[in-house]
């Protein structure tokens, strides 16, 4: 299948937002999506963007259609330096099995290497065996299973309480 | 909305007196990298992985204090008369950076939180974590995220007591890593 991977533009945010919801449905968490294409536009295309993004396009009758996306950002390990975190990787179901997901992941890794990143991280749900198999086949290691890392989050009231506890001026 | 503020733009150093120990939380500067590097080594030893630390003081200076920094830092400092037995006044730190949730938007990730053993139990760790949360909120974040090793029961209990939740245990998210040869192959587009 003929496809193109390119950096996302601001105008892609509506398509990306739609696919974010499709991915959330796949992960059985559609009620968790709180942001819209407007936040994506503001946060990804400002002077200091919070994330980078790619889209996958295929030709269609009247131009091209966006059929997949990836969202990633730079992080840091104080032991080894810059790293990249792959937040989302998604291809519409009817376009899977054609190398599009792999091509987007390769592109993220290439961009990460150019910025001297030493590793790529991501999270996957423990029941999502197709995705786990995909990443393990690419040489990924499951740090939760092998080293016992647990991902911890503060949000809502707990986050507010933490903020309130900060030293005041 | 404004871009994320640098820690030094948010507030001047602030003092706390907790359990008879004065301490200050402030933005880290280039000159702090020597002490941050020292404390990173101490934290790695605590987590039993000292041989994995490859980053030097110079790397921290380049990666944290350039035009597009990979991280931000805050330091906990005590007055001279409270210095450590080895003579240090910089006794704790946190390194953090901004991340993104495609569901919830802006988030802050706390990569390291460390207080020297002889200064624990005085509220310094909690003050550092709260400061990261405050800076995150000022930048428009709605989540503070970080990782903890499952055998580190003392840390897990501390964090859970502050109201956070374990995303791995509760939702089943596993952290995956691709590095070394695997990352090389991925970057080259190998099948």
pLDDT at A165 over 90: no
- Measured between alpha carbons, how far is B28 from B134 in angstroms, rounded to an integer? 16
- B147 at interface of A, judged by CB pairs closer than 8 A: yes
Burial class (CB in 10 A: 0-12, 13-18, 19+), B134: buried
User: Which whole number is the average pLDDT over B81-87?
Assistant: 94
Q: Decide if A139 and B183 are in contact by the 8 Å CB cutoff.
A: yes
Give, for B121, the enclosing helix (H) or strand (E).
Answer: none
Residue B77 to residue B23: CA distance in whole angstroms: 5
From chain A, pick out residues whose CB is under 8 angstroms from the CB of B97.
74-76
Compare all CA atoms of chain B with the CA of A105 and give the residue at the minimum distance: B186
Enzyme catalytic residues of A: 135
A75 half-sphere exposure, CB direction, 13 A CA radius: 24
Which residues are within 8 A (CB) of B102 and not within 5 positions of it... i.e. 6 or more apart?
A20, A23, A33, A35, A40, A71, A87, A88
Contact B168 A144 (CB under 8 A): yes
Asked if residue A150 lies in contact with residue A144, where contact means CB atoms within 8 angstroms, the answer is yes
The answer to whether B142 contacts chain A (CB < 8 Å) is: yes
Distance of alpha carbon B97 from alpha carbon B71, whole angstroms:
5
Task: Please list, in sequence order, all residues whose beta carbon lies within 8 angstroms of the beta carbon of residue B161, skipping any fewer than 6 positions away.
Answer: none
Query: Phi and psi (nearest 5°) for A159?
Result: -65, -45
Q: Is the model more confident about A68 or about A147?
A: A68
The two three-digit tokens of residue B148, written as one number: 């903890």
d(CA A44, CA A136): 29
Comparing A32-41, A124-133, B138-147, the range with the smallest average pLDDT is A124-133
Question: Which of A15-19, A80-84, A100-104, B136-140 has maximum average pLDDT?
Answer: A15-19
Residue A108: name the closest of A43, A55, A37 by CA.
A55
B14 forms beta bridges with B25
Question: A 93-112 residues with CB below 8 A of B?
Answer: 102-103, 105-106, 109-110, 112
Residues of chain B with CATH 3.40.630.30: 7-146
Return the percentage of chain B with pLDDT > 70, whole number: 88
pLDDT tens figures, A137-154: 878 888 888 877 777 777
Greater confidence (B131 vs B180) lies with: B131
Gap between the Cα atoms of B159 and A156, Å rounded: 15
Q: A158 pLDDT exceeds 60?
A: yes
Residue A36 in tokens: 């819209």
Interfacial A residues in 117-146 facing B (CB < 8 Å) = 118-127, 132, 135, 138-145
Mean model confidence pLDDT for chain A: 88
What residues of A are in contact with residue B16 (Cβ under 8 Å)? 167
Determine how many CB atoms are found less than 10 A away from the CB of residue A114. 9
- Which strand (E) or helix (H) includes residue A124? strand A119-125
Q: State how beta strands B90-101 and B105-115 pair.
A: antiparallel
A47 burial type by CB count under 10 A (0-12 exposed, 13-18 middle, 19+ buried): exposed
pLDDT single digits (tens) B147-163: 888 888 888 888 888 88
Q: Does B41 touch chain A (CB under 8 A)?
A: no
The CATH H-level (homologous superfamily) assignment of domain B7-146 is Gcn5-related N-acetyltransferase (GNAT) (3.40.630.30)
Tokens 């400061």: give the residue: B131
> Which residue would you say has higher pLDDT here, A32 or A41?
A41
- In the structure, what pLDDT confidence band is assigned to residue A126 with cuts at 50, 70 and 90? confident
- Confirm if B55 and A78 have CB atoms less than 8 A apart: yes
Is B130 in contact with A166 (CB distance < 8 Å)? yes
Q: What is the pLDDT of residue A156?
A: 76
Q: What was the ipTM of the complex prediction?
A: 0.88
């Amino acid at each position: 299948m003929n496809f193109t991977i390119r950096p996302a533009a601001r105008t892609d945010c509506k398509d990306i937002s739609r696919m974010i919801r499709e991915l959330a449905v796949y992960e059985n968490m559609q009620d968790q999506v709180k942001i819209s294409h407007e936040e994506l536009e503001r946060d990804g295309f400002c002077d200091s963007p919070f994330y980078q993004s790619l889209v996958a396009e295929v030709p269609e009758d009247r131009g091209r259609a966006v059929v997949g996306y990836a969202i990633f950002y730079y992080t840091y390990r104080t032991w080894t330096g810059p790293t990249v975190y792959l937040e989302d990787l998604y291809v519409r179901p009817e376009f899977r099995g054609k190398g599009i997901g792999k091509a987007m992941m390769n592109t993220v890794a290439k961009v990460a290497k150019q910025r001297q990143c030493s590793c790529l991280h991501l999270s996957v749900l423990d029941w999502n065996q197709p995705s786990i198999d995909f990443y393990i086949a690419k040489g990924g290691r499951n740090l939760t299973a092998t080293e016992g890392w647990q991902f911890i989050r503060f949000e809502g009231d707990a986050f507010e309480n933490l903020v309130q506890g900060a030293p005041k001026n | 909305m404004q871009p994320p503020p640098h820690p030094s733009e948010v507030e001047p150093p602030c003092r706390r007196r907790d359990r008879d120990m004065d301490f200050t939380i402030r933005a880290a500067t280039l000159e702090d990298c020597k002490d941050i590097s020292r404390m990173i080594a101490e934290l790695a030893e605590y987590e039993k992985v000292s041989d994995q630390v490859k980053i030097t003081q110079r790397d921290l200076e380049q990666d944290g204090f350039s035009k597009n920094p990979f991280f931000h830092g805050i330091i906990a400092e005590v007055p001279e008369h409270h210095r450590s037995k080895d003579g240090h006044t910089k006794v704790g730190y946190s390194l953090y950076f901004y991340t993104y949730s495609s569901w919830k938007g802006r988030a802050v990730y706390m990569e390291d939180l460390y207080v020297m053993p002889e200064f624990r139990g005085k509220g310094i760790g909690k003050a550092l974590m709260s400061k990261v949360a405050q800076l995150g909120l000022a930048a428009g974040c709605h989540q503070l995220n970080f990782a903890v090793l499952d055998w580190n029961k003392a840390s897990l209990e501390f964090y859970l007591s502050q109201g956070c939740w374990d995303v791995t245990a509760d939702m089943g998210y596993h952290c995956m890593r691709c590095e070394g040869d695997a990352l090389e192959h991925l970057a080259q587009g190998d099948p």
